[in-house]
Amino acid sequence: MDGLKARLNDSLQFRLSAWLSLVILLVATIAGSISFLVAYDEANEFQDDMLRQTASLFDGRHLPVQATADAARVPVADADARVIVRTLPQQGPRGDTPAFPSNLHDGVQTVELQGTAYRVFVRTLGSGPRIAVAQQAEVRNEAARAAALDALIPFALLVPILLVVVAALVRRFFGPVAALAEDVDRRAGDDLAPIEAGALPREIRPFVIAINGLLQRVAESISMQRRFVAAAAHELRSPLTALSLQAERLASAAMPGVARQRLDTLRQGIERNRALLDQLLTLARAQLASPGPAAPVSVQAAFRRVLEDLVPLIESRRIDLGLDGEADARVCIDEVELGAVLRNLVSNAIRHSPQGGRIDLSITPQGGHVLIEVEDQGPGIPEAERERVFEAFHREQGADGSGSGLGLSIVRTVVERCGGWVRLEDAARSPTGLRAIVAIPAASAG
Amino acid sequence: MRVLLVEDDTMIGTAVQDALREASYAVDWVTDGQSAATAAASHPYDLVLLDLGLPARDGLDVLDEVRGTHQPVPVLIITARDAVEDRIRGLDSGADDYLAKPFALSELLARMRAVLRRREGRGHAVLSNGVLSLDPATREVRTDDGGPIRLTRREFALLEALMVRPGAILSRTQLEERIYGWGEEVESNAVEYLIHSLRRKLGSAAIRNVRGVGWMVSRHD
């Protein structure tokens, strides 16, 4: 019951259906009752007329025969339904039919005889005898009820149909609203594009317009925050430059070994800051940029440029890094952004690789996309963690803290914006390790 | 060598000025765009180091004025604006090079030397990565510890391709394009063969291979 009440309060569609059904039932009940009563009355009147007409068949010279065995032999479908005609007061032998008292007045009346109700029409023939034409009331009533019930059949048939039709119509009218809700529900978290209001009923449109206004304000506020992040990262560059230049100057001064050691640590810290700022700027730019048409870029060439910067790191960790096959493919993405994606994937792989480990890169065209894979032999990431590592500043367990925590956020932002996707899987070639797969729309050939 | 340093950040300016003086440059340091334009007009500098985000006048504006008066002074932009469009705008405005903050002093000095070298027309002198030096005139290569080594025509072409930009990885196709002229038939494994013979002459560490990607000579600076 509470559930029903809740649904009544919650759903306009349900409320409309329920109330319309209720009104239909109520009207049908009243209309049915009225037509039942009218039909019942008419049937009764019709039967009274029949009694009158039967009585008019007699006059002073043609009196009804008294009940005989012959009369009883006339075949009728229902013995109780027989019309009985008698002269009053009763004469002759009394049969199985009741005797009517002589004090009945002329006209139609209901008389109870031996526990059975009769409808009786009494008529005085000329100045002499009186006759009574009678029929059992119960039989008459039954016939009248049957006739009246027949009048209800259309209601009985049409009301359920009407209820179903009303429910279907209401659902249909609310269809656009349900579709709209589903559409909004299906949206990605960062999809703030306005809702299409074209096909919606006029009553709903103001809501949609209001929601669109809200979406726009949210989009503006998000974009403002992102611009702020970009501007903040940017503004931090000058002081950081000053810091790193001073540290570099300091390094060229003469100093005791212990001081030099500490200065090296300091400079490593500054370097980490610089890397973090760069990543922050890359992410902010990727989030702010609108995906425009990009000239096709060769993935292999992009890998070459990225690896040029990473070779010293790869060498220092004695990592065997290589590209499988000499296949190349061209993709539709901004060159700088593709570089950011590859650099982050490869440097993640390097950071998590053991000394002397192996990193395999591959480029595979597949359907309309180009799959780029980077597989390492590091500890991998448990499946339950794999979604979380895409969050900004997420730290994996056991990570050495040298990463910015933004790499995979950048990868996902860039790749999804250009219509691709990124997925993490278990390594295919070694017992442990991670395989990062990125799909980017391929540039059409030619 | 007299250098005009245009930088509004005091800490950066001090560090750069000190480092330049130590490297035997004479440095004039101004901190806003207007003084920069005036200074550049009043004295023939050998090089201008120009920050873009300046008070009073934007750096690109100053650059326009300097170029507008047909001063051939080399200009090296040092700025925090590092988006590709900014770089393109800077170079299109007539800057000789573009260095994004944060940068290292050693890189700044190297870029300055490169810009000055280019200006003096000896941009294609001896190629060096700090360990090897290749002289295009004689087709000879020198290692740190050895005398000149003669290279064949194709060995030289391959090594030169790699030495133009030490640290750059070149693919097999790129190398083949440098070794063979138009219409010459490419022999299979020619690149591997040349690399092999170069390594025999220069030591196996001279040329690095990145599996499936290409070859490079490392930067040692």
Could you tell me which residue, A232 or B220, shows the higher pLDDT? Answer: A232
Pick from B93, B87, B80: nearest CA to A240: B80
Q: In whole angstroms, give the CA distance from residue B19 to residue B53.
A: 22
User: Is B61 in a helix, a strand, or coil?
Assistant: helix
Containing B108, the helix (H) or strand (E) segment is helix B105-119
Which residues make Cβ contacts (< 8 Å) with residue B66, sequence separation at least 6?
B37, B40, B41, B48, B73, B75, B94
DSSP string, B153-167: HHHHHHHHHHHSSTT
Residue A143 CB-density burial (10 A; 0-12 exposed, 13-18 middle, 19+ buried): middle
CB contact under 8 Å between A300 and B11, yes or no, is no
> To probe the interface with A, which of B22, B51, B171 has the most A CB atoms within 10 Å?
B171
Containing B22, the helix (H) or strand (E) segment is helix B10-22
Q: What is the nearest CA distance from B167 to chain A, expressed in angstroms? A: 6
* Closest chain B residue to the Cα of A270, Cα to Cα: B102
Terminal Cα-to-Cα distance of chain B (whole angstroms): 23
Find the CB nearest A307 among B84, B104, B210.
B210
ipTM of model: 0.74
CB contact under 8 Å between A323 and B167, yes or no, is no
- Can you give the pLDDT at residue A92? 47
> To probe the interface with A, which of B79, B210, B215 has the most A CB atoms within 10 Å?
B210
Distances (CA, A) of B142 to B126, B165, B191: 10, 17, 21
Is-cis flag, bond preceding B102, omega within 30?
A: yes
Residue numbers in A near B22 (CB within 8 A): 252
Find the CB nearest A323 among B15, B103, B212.
B212
Residue numbers in B near A325 (CB within 8 A): 212
Q: Name the pTM for this structure.
A: 0.65
- Would the pLDDT of B140 be above 90? no
- Can you give the pLDDT at residue A423? 92
Residue numbers in A near B15 (CB within 8 A): 242, 245-246, 248-249
> To probe the interface with A, which of B5, B10, B77, B169 has the most A CB atoms within 10 Å?
B169
Q: In whole angstroms, give the CA distance from residue A373 to residue A368.
A: 16
Q: Which two tokens stand for residue A142?
A: 């039954």
Residue numbers in B near A283 (CB within 8 A): none
Q: Is the dihedral of CA A311, A314, A316, A320 positive or negative?
A: negative
Q: In whole angstroms, give the CA distance from residue B35 to residue B15.
A: 20
CB contact under 8 Å between B19 and A361, yes or no, is no
Q: What is the pLDDT of residues B102-134, one digit of tens each?
A: 888 888 998 998 888 887 765 556 788 888 888
A-B contacts at Cβ under 8 angstroms: 92
Distances (CA, A) of A79 to A73, A82, A131, B177, B214: 10, 6, 21, 119, 115
Query: Angle at the Cα of B162 (from B158 to B168), degrees rounded to 5?
Result: 150
- Can you give the pLDDT at residue A446? 45
CB contact under 8 Å between B12 and A245, yes or no, is yes
- Can you give the pLDDT at residue A65? 64
- In our burial notation (b when 16+ CB lie closer than 10 A, e otherwise), range A348-371 reads bbbbbbeeebbbbbbbbbeeebbb
Tell me, what DSSP letter sits at residue B30? E
Q: What is the pLDDT of residues B146-165, one digit of tens each?
A: 778 888 888 888 998 898 88
Give pLDDT tens digits along chain A (446 positions): 566 677 666 777 888 888 888 998 899 889 889 988 998 888 888 888 888 888 888 876 777 665 555 555 566 666 677 788 877 765 544 555 567 777 778 888 888 877 788 888 888 877 677 888 888 888 888 888 888 888 888 888 888 898 899 889 888 888 888 888 888 888 876 777 888 777 777 878 888 888 889 989 988 998 888 888 888 887 888 888 889 998 988 888 888 989 999 999 999 999 888 888 888 888 888 887 766 667 888 999 999 989 988 988 898 889 999 998 777 888 988 888 899 999 999 999 998 899 999 999 999 998 889 999 999 998 888 888 888 888 888 776 655 666 778 889 999 999 988 889 999 999 888 888 999 999 999 887 54
- Can you give the pLDDT at residue B47? 92
- Can you give the pLDDT at residue A394? 78
What is the 3-state secondary structure of chain A?
Answer: CHHHHHHHHHCHHHHHHHHHHHHHHHHHHHHHHHHHHHHHHHHHHHHHHHHHHHHHCCECCECCCCCCHHHHHCCCCCHHHCCEEEEECCCCCCCCCCCCCCCCCCEEEEEEECCEEEEEEEEECCCCCEEEEEEEHHHHHHHHHHHHHHHHHHHHHHHHHHHHHHHHHHHHHCHHHHHHHHHHHHCCCCCCCCCCCCCCCCCCHHHHHHHHHHHHHHHHHHHHHHHHHHHHHHHHHHHHHHHHHHHHHHHCCCCCHHHHHHHHHHHHHHHHHHHHHHHHHHHHHHHHCCCCCCCEEEHHHHHHHHHHHHHHHHHHCCCEEEECCCCCCEEECCHHHHHHHHHHHHHHHHHHCCCCCEEEEEEEEECCEEEEEEECCCCCCCHHHCCHHHCCCCCCCCCCCCCCCCHHHHHHHHHHHCCCEEEEEECCCCCCCEEEEEEEEECCCC
Q: In whole angstroms, give the CA distance from residue B150 to residue B128.
A: 16
> To probe the interface with B, which of A237, A244, A245, A359 has the most B CB atoms within 10 Å?
A245
